[in-house]
Structure 1
Amino acid sequence: MHNDAIQFLAENQAAPNWERLGQHLPYEWIQKALSYTGKACIRQRRLPAEQVVWLVVALALYRHQSIGEVLDNLDLALPDAEVSFVSKSAIAQARQRLGAAPLQALFELSGHAWCEQDSKHYQFKGLRLFAMDGTTLRTADTPEQRAHLGAQAYVRVVASYPQVRGVTLTDVATHLIHSAAFGPYNQSEIRYAKELLASIPYDSLTAFDKGFFSAQILCGLTTNGNYRHFVIPAKINTKWEVLEGSAGDLLVQMRTSPLARRQSPELPEFWQARAITVLDSSARKQILLTSLTDRQRYSAADIVACYGRRWQIETSYREMKQSMLGKALTLRSKTIDGVYQEIWGTLTAYNLVRLEMAKAALAVKCEPTEISFVRAFHLIQYELQWAAVTRAYGKLPDLLKRLRERLVSLLNEERPDRYYE
């Protein structure tokens, strides 16, 4: 991010040179996202579309501040000799003009590119390791959002706030979010997971929670011949026929349910997987199913170790909800389009922080997950505002060097007693 975001925010000029955004979030990506969605701004405004994109991303970095404060403190509006501030109505109208589509396009462009950067440093025997998981977010309780999004229903009551349900595909090594799909709460995680299948990179292993156990997902991932693999816990009622192998490491065959084949006629009648039995520290048995059937190249211990890293990406949701969104009860936005815009901006902002952490870790050869997200996030907040206030363009190289050095100093403390399934 911050090579370029800080540089942009620190400059004080009537017409910012957007090409200075550089390698992390280049001007071309923002322009491409705007042109994809027909939102490129021709009329000169104090808040043209490019500036509003940055405002939406910045709102996720400064959830504790009002929208007006973020705009003023980071000096995101273009200068105007006659008017020294931008009204609340003008900010709201600018966000409405922009909509959610450009933020989605920008997230998809940047997420794919950033996960690809430096991926060779984190491969597992030639495979990139991803994890898929789901979460929910609460929104303001308006009739429009309740009708569109729905809410969790209990036995006698419905939840107080409408909710968004989402699924993300996350790079396990860096915690960068590669892809995301979200929408109304009353749609299942399986549906959103299916939307992400096409985006899963080739030569990869994806770890799934058992809630995603579906022939449509697992066969849909592996049958296209692009060396995309899965590892997932078997359900208690999963049935199979043993084809070969020894106790604890079997090749099994399962029948695709008639319902799944009616919904997806292209699915095979039978599909195969490798079943590996795992005993945890409490002697509880779990069976992992994987499409990596080559025992010589991928040992049972390798598969178990890869799946053991899946739980780590659940912390991504905690980092976004608690650290970035400040444990806020709901998202800021009061409209459906605004909610989607806010979520795409939050995902991009989260990735910007994670990317800077990954770059800092790579420089000193430590794991990105060894750096404390909370402390790194607070440090980046401070550096961005400091650069905007002081106009420290000449000091930016030293500022960025210090930023990355300090990020590396924020290593997480080891907590060996922690255990996650």
Structure 2
Amino acid sequence: MRANSVIPREVVVASGAFAPGHLGELTRIVPFEMVDEALERTGRTQARVRDLPSRVVVYLMLAGCLFPGMGWPQVWQRLTAGLSGLKVAAPTAGALLQARRRLGAEPLRWLFDLLRGPAAGIATPGVWWRGLLVCAIDGTVMPVPDSAANLTVFTKQRCNNGGAGYPSLRLLALVSCGTRTLLDAVFGPATDGETTYAPRLVRSLHEGMIVLLDRNFASQALLAEIARSGAHVLVRVKNGRKLPVLGHCPDGSYRSALGALTVRVIDCEITVSTSNGRHTSGYRLVTTLTDHRTHPATELIELYHQRWEVETAFLEIKSTILGGRVLRARTPTGIDQEVFSLLVAYQVLRLAMADATCTDTGIDPDRASFSIALHTARDLVVQAAGVIEDTVIDLVGTIGRHILAGLMPDRRIRTRPRVVKRAISKYNAKGTIDRTSYKATISIDILTTPTT
């Protein structure tokens, strides 16, 4: 005999044509009222209620980022899959396209400007260093569809094998290293370099921050502009860059100048030792923190390693969320809309992760799994679960409980060679490549620079 079990489930969503407008449990971070204000502020509220109200289209754009491998009709199916028993629209692909065009990019831009921020308290591990919010600026390149419209703005970049790839955009982000949340972001054609976009991020810098920068950003004009914002800088410069020695500090660093900007320089060697051997690299770091007593050189060298957190944020956006896919939009205005949607979706996931880990001040946000947050959020969108908060407020939520149940171990010191894992040409992968990860020990030696 076969027994059937029925598990009743109550779904609470908006009424009428607005019902498909949700993002599962993430709707609590981007609630209806917030989306409605974004539409009102940007003049995109619909004149009359259609089958696809503007609020619903905003959530459609965000859900599209959670399901990047699907067409828009399939994304719509996931928004409505948990709404059985409710009468919902069944729009065609053409109707969804027209709705996205009516919406434009501005409401998503407004949402990103509202949501961006560090999402951390003063006690959150790894977010602050000696009272300064640790953040980093870096850039990455993302492929866009090879359409005639996109080619009017975005150009193709040369590949290693001599051919041309997809047109590309350049994305530059200011990231809080402790939580990997976005503090700001700018993007545009890849024909403009990182130092062209970087000054546009200075608007989000202020006193009480320290910005970690790669060698590409060691421009005297950019560093001076950051210093004028009140933020401090820790940047790597080329080892051969000539900097005047204006006085030595007891910790091995020395005072110098970049134009009119007073700085402190730290020359050091970092040795990584594994069972496979030793490797030593020279580093020259420049900082606007000139007091060696309050900001010791050794701690600054160790802090600079946090710059890699911005690279991890890009990995999560491009690989974990997008799965290495090309963006969808085939017009430049569509690309603007899609990228702002992607930034909002990433930020909302990061905020959910921060909400979960902050329930225990002993948990470093690094231990939260982005993959668990993403896959749980996708499931809850399909189920239309947790859209509206119950009378008993749940600060952690289903996403948070999954994150806390699957915390990753504390980060261990390991190293592996930087190699091309998926070569564009088979000839780029000649020879034997060691892909082994090794347990490592790191030693730091500060080099004393003679007065010149």
- Which bin holds the TM-score, normalised by the shorter protein? 0.7 to 0.9
1:111 equivalent to 2:116? Answer yes
**Equivalent residue, structure 2, for 1:333:** 329
**Equivalent residue, structure 2, for 1:261:** none
Measure the CA separation in 2 of the matches of 1:361 and 1:161: 39
**Equivalent residue, structure 2, for 1:13:** 15
* Preserved CA contact (<8 Å) 1:131 1:208: yes
Superposition pairs of residues 92-107 of structure 1, within 5 angstroms = 92-107=97-112
Partner of 2:157: helix, strand, or coil? coil
**Equivalent residue, structure 2, for 1:134:** 139
Letter in 2 for 1:316: A
Q: Which moved more, 1:155-164 or 1:359-368?
A: 155-164
What's the % identity of the aligned pairs? Answer: 28
Of the candidates 268, 272, 280, which is equivalent to residue 262 of structure 2? 272
Shift of 1:285: 1.5
**Equivalent residue, structure 2, for 1:196:** 201
Measure the CA separation in 2 of the matches of 1:181 and 1:65: 26
The count of corresponding residues between Structure 1 and Structure 2 is 394
Of the candidates 150, 154, 159, which is equivalent to residue 155 of structure 2? 150
Of the candidates 324, 338, 346, which is equivalent to residue 342 of structure 2? 346
**Equivalent residue, structure 1, for 2:35:** 30
1:165 equivalent to 2:167? Answer no
* Preserved CA contact (<8 Å) 2:352 2:399: no
Partner of 1:190: helix, strand, or coil? helix
Residues 76, 209 of structure 1: alpha-carbon distance in 2 compared, 3 angstrom cutoff: farther
**Equivalent residue, structure 2, for 1:253:** 257
1:301 equivalent to 2:298? Answer yes
Partner of 2:324: helix, strand, or coil? coil
* Preserved CA contact (<8 Å) 1:275 1:290: yes
**Equivalent residue, structure 1, for 2:182:** 177
Of the candidates 224, 246, 249, which is equivalent to residue 243 of structure 1? 246
Counting helix residues as a fraction of each chain, which structure ranks higher?
1
Letter in 2 for 1:233: R
1:324 equivalent to 2:329? Answer no
Superposition pairs of residues 204-219 of structure 1, within 5 angstroms = 204-219=209-224
1:48 equivalent to 2:53? Answer yes
Measure the CA separation in 2 of the matches of 1:111 and 1:76: 30
Partner of 1:363: helix, strand, or coil? coil
Residues 117, 28 of structure 1: alpha-carbon distance in 2 compared, 3 angstrom cutoff: farther
Measure the CA separation in 2 of the matches of 1:243 and 1:91: 64
**Equivalent residue, structure 2, for 1:231:** 234
* Preserved CA contact (<8 Å) 1:175 1:316: yes
1:384 equivalent to 2:384? Answer no
Q: Give the alignment's TM-score, normalised by structure 1.
A: 0.84
**Equivalent residue, structure 2, for 1:411:** 407
When the two chains are superposed, the root-mean-square deviation of aligned CA atoms in Å is: 3.3
Measure the CA separation in 2 of the matches of 1:29 and 1:131: 28
Residues 81, 253 of structure 1: alpha-carbon distance in 2 compared, 3 angstrom cutoff: closer
**Equivalent residue, structure 2, for 1:288:** 285
| 1:219-259, Cα deviation, whole Å (9 max, x unpaired) | 001124x3x1110101234221111114730111233xxxx
Partner of 2:346: helix, strand, or coil? helix
Shift of 1:187: 0.7
**Equivalent residue, structure 2, for 1:259:** none
Higher Rg: 2
Measure the CA separation in 1 of the matches of 2:48 and 2:85: 15
Letter in 2 for 1:291: T
Shift of 1:155: 9.2
Shift of 1:65: 2.6
Measure the CA separation in 2 of the matches of 1:9 and 1:107: 28
Of the candidates 342, 358, 364, which is equivalent to residue 362 of structure 1? 358
Shift of 1:409: 2.2
* Preserved CA contact (<8 Å) 1:151 1:186: no
| 1:327-375, Cα deviation, whole Å (9 max, x unpaired) | 21x1111111111111111111111111111111111231111112122
Superposition pairs of residues 119-130 of structure 1, within 5 angstroms = 121=124, 122-130=127-135
Residues 341, 379 of structure 1: alpha-carbon distance in 2 compared, 3 angstrom cutoff: same
| 1:97-131, Cα deviation, whole Å (9 max, x unpaired) | 1111221121111113xx25535633222211111
Of the candidates 87, 90, 109, which is equivalent to residue 92 of structure 2? 87
| 1:284-316, Cα deviation, whole Å (9 max, x unpaired) | 220110111121111112212221111122011
* Preserved CA contact (<8 Å) 2:372 2:402: no
Q: Which moved more, 1:166-175 or 1:13-22?
A: 13-22
Letter in 2 for 1:14: G
Q: Give the alignment's TM-score, normalised by structure 2.
A: 0.79
* Preserved CA contact (<8 Å) 2:175 2:183: yes
Residues 297, 151 of structure 1: alpha-carbon distance in 2 compared, 3 angstrom cutoff: same
* Preserved CA contact (<8 Å) 1:194 1:217: yes
5+ residue gaps, structure 2, are 1-9, 272-278, 419-452
Partner of 1:280: helix, strand, or coil? strand
Partner of 2:258: helix, strand, or coil? strand
| 1:27-67, Cα deviation, whole Å (9 max, x unpaired) | 44323432343222222112222211111111111113321
Residues 21, 35 of structure 1: alpha-carbon distance in 2 compared, 3 angstrom cutoff: farther
* Preserved CA contact (<8 Å) 1:170 1:177: yes
Residues 200, 31 of structure 1: alpha-carbon distance in 2 compared, 3 angstrom cutoff: farther
Partner of 1:142: helix, strand, or coil? coil
Residues 44, 420 of structure 1: alpha-carbon distance in 2 compared, 3 angstrom cutoff: farther
| 1:130-171, Cα deviation, whole Å (9 max, x unpaired) | 111100110110122122111213699562210001100001
Residues 23, 70 of structure 1: alpha-carbon distance in 2 compared, 3 angstrom cutoff: closer
Shift of 1:393: 7.8
Residues 82, 63 of structure 1: alpha-carbon distance in 2 compared, 3 angstrom cutoff: closer
Letter in 1 for 2:360: V
Measure the CA separation in 2 of the matches of 1:29 and 1:81: 24
